Amino acid sequence: MARDPLIGLVGKPSAGKSTTLNSLTDASSKVGRELSTPPLCFYALPPNSFTTIDPQRAIGYLQIECACARFNLQEKCKPNYGSCDNGRRSVPIELLDVAGLVPGAHQGRGLGNKFLDDLRHADALIHVVDVSGTVDAEGKETRGYDPSVDIAWLRSEIVAWVKGNLMERWPSIRRRHMATKSSAVDTLRAQFGGYGANLKLVQRALDRSGVKEALEEWDDDTIDVIVNSFIDEKFPTVIALNKIDHADADKNIAKIAKQQDPNTLVLCSAVSEVFLRKMVKQGYIKYTEGSEFVDTRDDLIADGDELGGGLKELDDKNKARIENLKDMVLYRFGSTGVVRVLQKAAEVLGLVPVFPVRSISTFGSAGVGDTKAVFRDCVLIKKNSTVADVARKVMGDAPIAFVEGLGGLRVSEDDAVAPGKNDVSLRHNGGEKGSGLSTRLQRNTMLRTRTMRAVLLTLGHRSCHSKWAEGNREEGQRAGKTGRGKQDREADRPNGGTATVTSGSQDHLHI
């Protein structure tokens, strides 16, 4: 059975990885120089004294639009895991905080080989880059450092690590390949399997590379192309430009925006998000993660609420800090950006949320907790997963007799689950209908199961996660200029037997 997606956070020491992890999880990961309110004894220590040494795993929460919103069932939605706030669902996803990497990591510098090995099983990476320019490549305090260099050297370290592992054995790999008359994809699958790569991923990497020569003819440059293509497929990367509230951040962001694909960039202030959540927990402010709005007691009283929403009174120091945060982060960039970081990582992975239910009429999970609750579970499925992969993930290894779509149209169990697919119904061997898969939503696919009974779904067709599709505040535009752009929303599509959509770089999908 396929494992759940794992997203790794990488970067140099003191770039803000652990603070970013905390902002995504509310975890208690140790943080270094960026810690906002450290114990007094921390001040005498070096900047990266509390830089992560061992990899830390935690559960983050990906925000999507829940299926309950489509059916006006928000009040009945009670997730088993995560939460749902009026149709905005927080879905658990596993994160890995890899210890700080430094130049020369692939040669073992700074325990680099160990740290690189920690990220082998990650399905995507979030590279946290300190755009303040106040920390050098070693994680030491400085001024005027160019953070665009960090993006280049970290990528080169990962390439050198993978290529070095391959080249150590290349003569024997080449001889065996020729002796066994294997295909290039089979030979590379054996070498890249240690990174969690399957045959399909290796084939996609080969296709991406455009290399046509036989493997035995590959030279060093060709192998370099192959390795880079493999890394693009195995470790799709989001670049989180952190500490955007710093005075020197704008010029560094503008430079990076000219060098990198803007679709991979997200502007964020992890320490701001951590601070705001702390203030919420302590009862000082009203704030929703991912929002640009913060309400204090004074704000609510000014709006006519005599009780100030029951909030506590802020002291002058925290009042000033919140006002500064509003001006330098929230109003300029539309949010702290932290929620968008995880959404972008899910986007580059092509994750499709799937909702298993037991009752097609009530969307409930009979026999589990509150029988009136709807959409209690949500599963994240990787792109290129098949109908059979999804069925195994949710139902185990029950054999499937056949799969059919709306109108009784047969569908292969090898058919990919992707935005734009129709509802399908699975039949177990023995002729009984087992479970229904709905892949009808553009961004938020739904799976429904009802053991040994007929299930056929008739969902509408609407962008179920507007933030994934949003053109609002596109990161490239935000990197080049401050201020907020307009939101591009995809139009609703009508109910019907088939649907065709365009989603990003994907082809039009339909059955």
User: Once rounded to an integer, what is the mean pLDDT over residues 468-480?
Assistant: 41
One-letter amino acid of 468: W
**Residue 370 pLDDT grade (very low, low, confident, very high; cuts 50, 70, 90):** low
Per-residue tokens: 21: 């992890």
CA distances from 166 to 71, 161, 333 (A): 52, 9, 43
Q: In whole angstroms, what is the distance from residue 125 CA to residue 31 CA? A: 19
Is pLDDT larger for residue 476 or for residue 265?
Answer: 265
> What pLDDT is attached to residue 31?
44
Please provide the average confidence, as pLDDT, over all residues in the chain: 76
Of the ranges 106-110, 428-432, 451-455, which one carries the lowest mean pLDDT score?
Answer: 451-455
**Within 13 A of 236's CA, how many CA atoms are on the CB side?**
22
Same domain for 311 and 366?
A: no
- Judge whether residue 477 has pLDDT over 80: no
In this structure, are 301 and 434 located in the same domain?
no
- The alpha helices in 147-262, defined as continuous H runs, are 148-167, 170-180, 184-192, 199-209, 220-234, 249-259
Query: Is residue 477 domain-shared with residue 371, that is, in the same domain?
Result: yes
| Burial class of residue 125 (count of CB atoms within 10 Å of its CB; 0-12, 13-18, 19+) | buried
The proportion of the chain whose per-residue pLDDT surpasses 90, expressed as a percent, equals: 48
Which is more confident, 495 or 180?
180
Confidence of residue 264 (pLDDT cuts 50, 70, 90): very high
Domain that residue 191 falls in: 169-231
pLDDT of residue 390: 77
User: How many domains, the chain?
Assistant: 3
Range with the lowest mean pLDDT among 144-148, 367-371, 484-488?
A: 484-488
- Asked whether residue 104 is domain-assigned, the answer is no
What pLDDT does residue 470 have? 42
Q: Is residue 98 part of a domain?
A: no
Decide if 9 is inside a domain. Answer: no
The answer to the question of residue 59 being in a domain is: no
In the block, residue with structure tokens 């699975």: 426
Cα separation of the two ends of the chain: 26
**Domain presence at residue 84:** no
Can you read off the two tokens belonging to residue 389? 């992969």
pLDDT at 136: 86
- Within a domain: residue 492? yes
Q: What percent of the chain has pLDDT over 70?
A: 68
Average pLDDT over residues 444-468: 32
The reply to whether 416 and 508 lie within a common domain is yes
Number of neighbours of residue 193 by Cβ within 10 angstroms: 12
Provide the 10 A C-beta neighbour count for residue 383: 14
pLDDT in tens, 287-339: 999 999 999 999 999 999 999 999 999 999 999 999 999 999 999 999 999 99
3-state class of 95 per DSSP?
strand
pLDDT score for 423: 54
The DSSP string of 450-472 is: -TTS-------B--S-HHHH--T
Q: Using the predicted structure, report yes or no on whether residue 249 has a pLDDT greater than 70.
A: yes
Pick the range with the lowest mean pLDDT from 125-139, 146-160, 235-249, 384-398.
384-398
Strands (E), 66-116: 83-85, 88-97
Do 287 and 372 lie in a common domain? no
Domain shared by 216 and 295, yes or no: no
User: For 383-431, how does the pLDDT look when each residue is reduced to its tens digit (9 = 90+)?
Assistant: 777 877 877 777 677 677 767 665 667 777 787 776 545 555 556 554 4
Q: Do 316 and 221 belong together in one domain?
A: no
Does an H or E element contain 324, and which?
helix 316-325
User: Could you tell me the pLDDT band of residue 107, with boundaries at 50, 70 and 90?
Assistant: low
What is the three-class DSSP state of 265? strand
Query: For residue 30, with 0-12 CB atoms within 10 Å meaning exposed, 13-18 middle and 19 or more buried, which class applies?
Result: middle
Which residues sit opposite 61 in a β-bridge? Answer: 92
Q: Is residue 408 part of a domain?
A: yes
Please compute Rg for the chain using Cα positions. 24
- Which of 25-34, 67-76, 104-113, 428-437 is modeled with the greatest confidence? 67-76
Same domain, 289 and 411: no
- CA distances to 26, 53, 232 from 118, rounded to whole Å, are 22, 11, 18
pLDDT digits (tens, 9 = 90+) for 155-179: 998 999 899 999 999 999 999 999 9
Q: Which of 357, 263, 384 is nearest to 5 (CA)?
A: 384
Q: Are residues 288 and 388 in the same domain?
A: no
CA 132 from centroid of its chain's CA atoms: 24
Tokens (6 digits) for 496:
């019907």
Q: Which of 211, 231, 251 is the last residue of a domain?
A: 231
Q: If you ran DSSP here, which 8-state letter would residue 183 be given?
A: -
What is the DSSP code string of 352-412? EEE---S-TTT-B-TTSS-TT-B----EEE-TT-BHHHHHHHHH-S--EEEEEEGGG-EE-
281, 210: one domain: no
Note whether 396 and 281 are same-domain residues.
Answer: no
Mark 36-73 as b/e (b = at least 16 C-beta within 10 Å): eeeeeeeeeeebbebbbeebbebebbbbbbbbbbbeeb
Question: Considering the entire predicted model, what is its pTM?
Answer: 0.77
Which of residues 231, 259, 282 is at a domain's end? 231
Q: Is residue 380 part of a domain?
A: yes
306/208 same-domain check? no
For residues 424 and 342, the model is more confident at 342
Question: Residue 323 is which amino acid?
Answer: E
Res 250 pLDDT > 70: yes
**Residue 230: closest CA among 275, 199, 264, 276:** 199
The pLDDT, as a whole number, for residue 421 is: 59
